Amino acid sequence: MADTTTHSSTAPWANPPNRSGRHLLRKILPWLIVVSVLAWIIAGLWPKPIPVERGVVTRAPLTVTVLEEGKTRIRHRYIVAAPVAGTMRRVTLKPGDSVKANETIITCIEPTPAPLLDPRARVQAEAAVSLQESSLQRTQEMIQAAQIAWQRAESERQRIHAEKTTGILSQSDRERIESDAAIRAAEVRALEFEGKIRDFELAQAKAALARPAAQLAENLIEVKAPVSGMVLRVMQESEMITLAGKEILEIGDPSDLEVEAEILSRDAVAIRQGADAFIEQWGTGAPLNGRVRRIEPAAFTKVSSLGVEEQRVFVLIDLIHPPEEAKALGDRFRVEARIATWHADDVLVVPSSALFRENNSWKTYQVIAGIAHKRDVEVGHSDGRHSEVISGLKQGDRVLLHPPDAVKDQSSVVEK
């Protein structure tokens, strides 16, 4: 009986199990789940540092430039024109051919033959010949009469000089005879000159009736190159009847290049003669060095690709020691000209991408210990990549580049 009692006291069902640990776990587990969810939500909503790019405020040289399209052109150009009217033979030269001054024959011109005369014009021309012949005959008769009068006056003059005595004629009579002889001699010379004029007029009237041959070799006029260089353009290639002054071709020296840039008038005001220039987008290689030679005083109106009328000014730039590759440039090639309008060797600069406008003032974000602080900045000159800082920042300050819209004042940022 005693053994049975002892055994029953040690049986599992004799004492109920301890449920306090499980009960406590059941109470804590929901709260653990709620806290975990809240932690996840808070972690998801907690602001994370915004990844950004940063730049540094430094001191460096700064050059402000104006960039515009331009084109090359040969500085000295020569247009060869027909010196006379006539039949111009075909021009065999082509653009790119070399010519030598006073040696290369560009073309030959045959003088225009005399036009045919209609019956009325022929009668008028023949009448003009007859008129000039009659005038010549009358002049010849006048010459003979003048010569007789001169011979008589000359004889009288010689007679008074041969007399030994001086009391026969008075001094006034002697002077009259001398002057009369001189006048008669002058009349003879004048009529002889008039006779020559009549001869020329008669020859001119007869030439109106004649039709000389125009195909004679001595009648051909050779048009030669006025300067040495290269043919740029041929304005008239085919054989044709040409007038005096008709343009035939254009000659220039391709090695004598300059750049013609069309600058907006508001930008041209800041450009000075002798300013540095850089020729870009001309082909291969680094930009070409240049110098402004002239700013033309008169502007012209040009319509932009957007249909806006603009006032532009021609700025001429000389190339300085162009490399061998630049010899491939020709006349009217497109380039881009970057012209300096302002320069300083040592200024405080900030990357232009760090600046933005707000309420008509320039601002930037300065990064201090991972926090972005908005700063007011006074900006001076700018070349597009860097801007001059007048106030608001100091050397060594770190600023945000291209600040995103998510960045606000006091935002936490981290460098990418």
Convert the pLDDT of each residue in 295-351 to its tens digit.
999 999 999 888 999 999 999 999 999 988 888 898 899 999 999 999 999 999 999
Distance CA 249, CA 232 (A): 8
| C-beta of residue 77 within 8 angstroms of C-beta of residue 338 | no
Looking from the CA of 377 toward its CB, the CA atoms found within 13 Å total 29
Q: What is the mean pLDDT of residues 54-79?
A: 93
| pLDDT-wise least confident of 24-28, 53-57, 327-331 | 24-28
Distance CA 320, CA 241 (A): 45
Listed residue (372, 382, 377, 394) closest to 352, CA to CA: 382
Listed residue (317, 307, 389) closest to 354, CA to CA: 389
Q: What is the mean pLDDT of residues 80-107?
A: 92
State what percent of residues in the chain have pLDDT above 70: 88
Pairing label, strands 50-56, 411-415: parallel
- pLDDT reported for residue 196: 85
Q: What is the mean pLDDT of residues 376-392?
A: 93
Quick check: 248 pLDDT over 60?
Answer: yes
Give the model's confidence band at 14: pLDDT under 50 very low, under 70 low, under 90 confident, else very high.
low
- pLDDT reported for residue 22: 66
State what percent of residues in the chain have pLDDT above 90: 45
Question: Exposed/middle/buried for 76, CB within 10 Å: 0-12, 13-18, 19+?
Answer: exposed
In three-state secondary structure terms, 76 is coil
Give the model's confidence band at 8: pLDDT under 50 very low, under 70 low, under 90 confident, else very high.
very low
**Residue pLDDT, tens place only, 169-182:** 677 777 788 888 88
**Residue pLDDT, tens place only, 196-227:** 888 888 888 887 777 655 555 567 889 999 99
- pLDDT reported for residue 259: 96
- pLDDT reported for residue 45: 64
Quick check: 6 pLDDT over 70?
Answer: no
- pLDDT reported for residue 340: 94
Looking from the CA of 264 toward its CB, the CA atoms found within 13 Å total 11
**Residue pLDDT, tens place only, 78-92:** 999 999 888 899 999
Fold of 58-72+255-415: Elongation Factor Tu (Ef-tu); domain 3 (2.40.30)
- pLDDT reported for residue 217: 59
Distance CA 331, CA 3 (A): 128
User: DSSP string of 79-110?
Assistant: EEE-SS-EEEPPP---TT-EE-TTTSEEEEEE
Residue 216: phi and psi, rounded to 5, are -65, 145
- pLDDT reported for residue 125: 79
- pLDDT reported for residue 7: 47
What secondary structure letter does DSSP report for 369?
A: T
CATH number assigned to the domain covering 78-111+220-251: 2.40.50.100
Provide the residue ranges of all domains of the chain, joining segments of one domain with +.
58-72+255-415, 78-111+220-251, 119-207
Computed over every residue of the chain, the mean pLDDT equals 85
In three-state secondary structure terms, 309 is strand
Quick check: 3 pLDDT over 60?
Answer: no
- pLDDT reported for residue 119: 81
**Residue pLDDT, tens place only, 117-164:** 778 877 887 888 888 888 888 888 888 888 888 888 888 888 777 765
Range 298-310 burial, b when 16+ CB lie within 10 A, else e: ebeeeeeeeeeee
Tokens encoding 93: 């030269």
Q: Bin 332: left if φ > 0, else alpha if -120 < ψ < 50, else beta.
A: left
Tokens encoding 364: 């930037």
Give the model's confidence band at 40: pLDDT under 50 very low, under 70 low, under 90 confident, else very high.
confident
- pLDDT reported for residue 52: 87
